[in-house]
A and B are shown apart, each in its own frame.
Chain A
């Protein structure tokens, strides 16, 4: 239970790095390759994300997304889903790049992923998994940015939070008349910056939908805030007076559940997924979600009817629990 977690082995052509990751400190593997091995960044639900590079290690960092086979699934089902999803993802990315939507560019893909590799942990053979090589997008995911901003807000306006009404979780950031003028203006300004980010998120989703693609898993973890080129700061930690950088371009990532559709229904469900994920991930900032929808409304023709549909979607589903 307490043993160190070992990710599944890498599929070819990345697999020759497997030895290196498992070798002990004393042995130096004589790998013929000059490439540094891919670095595991995150283990998502469906895929492992590695940072590697494309062609040239210094100029072209790249994101490698591997969908390892899921041993819990029936092999036939697993193969069907893996193939279907990686192809779907590749097609959507290719289309969005063509349409000029801010997404990572697609470099290469292996949709079969049926090459057997040896699992270092168990010694058993398993399928290496299908993979997708994409452009590397700099910046933090919006979840991290919003959380950093929420923390900064709490720290900066801590005094105001001692006010009993403030402690009620939802709508915590709402304006309060009792506050000193200075703090009030500051707070307003900060909130305005967040609202602007949320509107840009809405606009990004709008451009995606306008291009005929549905994301399928919109959460704040699947949006990256790519900082502006000139400002050289790498991480989202605040500079100066605890200010979190909210500038930059909103890039959509992870099209693992994406599909192509121009139906109001699908678009509305996409927004609904985002709304729900936002509410459960950022309960303190939930009250501002309307800004995302505002940004969306202005982003393309046809957005208005999607938002209308969204109202229906909200009422439907299992918003209110019922027996099936």
Chain B
């Protein structure tokens, strides 16, 4: 069976085509293409501009995906699309694209929960059977474990998502959004050495990020590190050491922010592992491709005698193939989204989905 997946809940629009062999062997990725809406440094992406970007790109990407996959329209079994959660306008443009293709090609529609898409793709790629899932992206931060046909949320952020915290700090420092603000923070953090004191907010298995962001933003302003930057000092301070008056650098702030928020994430993941008695962790979502987070999670898992599974940017960052994967799994259990219900929603909890394909 073959499914086309369309994703566009944030600033990436992606189309993927997945093939599930009839004999039940490993699913094959036939195509996975994506285009990202990149804004200038210091700016975030606005819904209406992002939606415009998606509308401009989705047809091109579908054509490209079909070409890459070397399949014709008649081989396709269903069209899967992201029903939510995400930003309203971008979601809508992709839902329209999916409905159009469904009518044009007379194919069934499958609305997919974005978070479940991430989890299912992560499981398919890494082969993790029943892991504790840390889902970290620009819009979501959740610790999830499977139980009785639901992906249950054990812990999550009480305010903003971790990716949002990083992105917004990148905006404060006016770090480039290309390819992604988080990626550029990660690169800058590698040069940081000094740890500044930041709030560390863990409440049970939940965390809070907004205080950390406010504190680091305030530090950036206090030391005059916000706003545009000529990029000179970064090279200079690594050469001369940081003996100068104890003032942190931009790199130090990025380093401290990463160390603090990732420690919080690893801590709640570890707590969920201890709680459900699992030894496997799967990291999914855009922030999941951060190597420092993967490294910290790896050390934690090893200390517990467990293992960590992570994927690379093709599958971590929002993509169409994960929607195709989760959609096709639901499709096989008989799940369909009738045209009149093929809407999208900004609010769609991970645990609202009945996971019929697992026991």
Contacts and interface: CB of A to CB of B under 8 A. Distances in A.
B348 interface: yes
Contacts of B149: 169
Contacts of B349: 320-321
A213 to B, nearest CB: 15
B347 A320 contact: yes
Interface of A: 1, 3, 5, 8, 43-46, 70-74, 76-77, 80-81, 169, 216-219, 221, 257, 269, 273, 276-277, 280-281, 283, 317-318, 320-324
A71 B263 CA distance: 11
A72 B260 CA distance: 11
B200 A81 contact: yes
Nearest to B263: A73
Given A45-B273, A72-B299, A77-B195, A324 B263 contact: no
B92 interface: no
Contact of A324 (B153, B160, B299, B300): B160
A272 to B, nearest CB: 9
Given A72-B297, A280-B147, A43 B346 contact: no
B204 A277 contact: yes
A281 B276 CA distance: 8
Given A45-B274, A320-B347, 10 more contacts: A46-B270, A80-B197, A216-B203, A219-B275, A273-B206, A283-B147, A283-B148, A318-B157, A321-B84, A323-B86
B161 A321 contact: no
B176 interface: no
B343 interface: no
Contact of B87 (A1, A77, A273, A323): A323
B341 interface: no
Nearest to A273: B204
Contacts of A71: 299, 303
Give the interface size bracket for B toward A. Answer: 35 or more
30 contacts: A8-B303, A43-B304, A45-B271, A45-B274, A70-B263, A70-B300, A70-B303, A71-B299, A72-B263, A72-B295, A72-B296, A72-B303, A77-B195, A216-B204, A219-B204, A257-B202, A273-B203, A273-B206, A276-B154, A280-B152, A280-B153, A280-B154, A283-B152, A317-B206, A318-B158, A321-B350, A323-B346, A324-B157, A324-B160, A324-B164
Contacts of B346: 321-323
Nearest to A321: B85
A275 to B, nearest CB: 11
A127 to B, nearest CB: 13
B309 to A, nearest CB: 12
A218 B204 contact: yes
Contacts of A257: 202-204
A217 B200 contact: no
A219 B139 CA distance: 27
- 9 closest pairs, A vs B, by CB? A324-B160, A5-B305, A45-B271, A72-B299, A273-B204, A45-B274, A72-B296, A324-B164, A45-B270
Given A221-B275, A321-B140, A76 B203 contact: no
B30 interface: no
B266 interface: yes
Interface in B203-219: 203-206, 209
A231 B20 CA distance: 58
B158 A317 contact: yes
Contacts of B160: 324
A77 B260 contact: yes
Contact of B348 (A46, A277, A321): A321
A44 B147 contact: no
Contacts of A217: 204-205, 271
A259 B350 CA distance: 31
Contacts of A72: 263, 266, 295-297, 299-300, 303
A283 B153 CA distance: 13
Contacts of B305: 3, 5
Given A219-B275, A321-B347, A1 B202 contact: no
A44 B156 CA distance: 19
A222 to B, nearest CB: 10
Contacts of A318: 156-159
A74 B299 contact: no
Contacts of A76: 195
B259 interface: yes
A216 B153 CA distance: 18
Contacts of B64: none
Interface in B186-238: 195, 197, 200, 202-206, 209
